[in-house]
Amino acid sequence: MKCDLCKTNEATVHVEQVCEGSVQELSLCADCAGQKGLSGASPLSLTNLLFGAVAPSELSNGVRNRKCRACGLRLSEFKKGARMGCAQCYETFAEELQSVLAGMHPGRQHVGKAPVGERANSEIAQIQGALAQAIAAQNFEEAARLRDRIGAMKNAAGKETSHDG
């Protein structure tokens, strides 16, 4: 089996991590495992290994000792726990965060789902804009259709919230 990182050498180090019920596996050659600071002596999470665990060479050059001026959190502590100490940490460690997030997320803008109520409110607002345009253009048939659609959506939203309580 080839190394998952360099894709050339034979893998001799195999790492497994169970995260929320799914098993993640990584197979590395001795060189790549050494570059990532992975030895049989200490456990290391797969996330840290792939997204920014400090290599042993960084221990001597002072990178690991950089710390937040506001709360004193060191870069090495952030990389171990993956938690910021304060709001200033985001600015202090911005460079490291950008590289970690770039590897984890495909884009720079959130495109996830909105809560159901927010989606409905947003859609109603869009339809209300179209309704105003239809009225301004004196397209009263379209305006009536849009008005009825808004009413039906508000009615449906009211029924959903009355059953949730």
Q: Fill in the DSSP letter of residue 115.
A: P
Q: How many CB atoms lie within 10 A of CB 102?
A: 12
- pLDDT of the residue at 142: 94
Q: Is the pLDDT of residue 80 over 60?
A: yes
The set of residues, in sequence order, having a beta carbon less than 8 Å from that of 102 and lying 6+ positions away, is: none
Summarize pLDDT for 145-161 with one digit per residue, the tens: 999 999 998 888 776 65
pLDDT interval class at 8 (50, 70, 90): very high
Domain definitions of the chain by residue range: 1-50, 61-110, 116-159
Distance CA 9, CA 63 (A): 29
Distance CA 61, CA 49 (A): 20
Summarize pLDDT for 27-75 with one digit per residue, the tens: 888 888 777 766 544 444 545 555 554 444 444 444 556 788 899 888 7
> In 29-147, at which residue ranges do the beta strands (DSSP E only) sit?
none
CATH classification of 1-50, choosing from 3.30.70, 1.10.3470, 3.30.60, 3.40.109? 3.30.60
Summarize pLDDT for 89-122 with one digit per residue, the tens: 888 888 877 776 766 666 666 666 667 677 788 8
- pLDDT of the residue at 61: 45
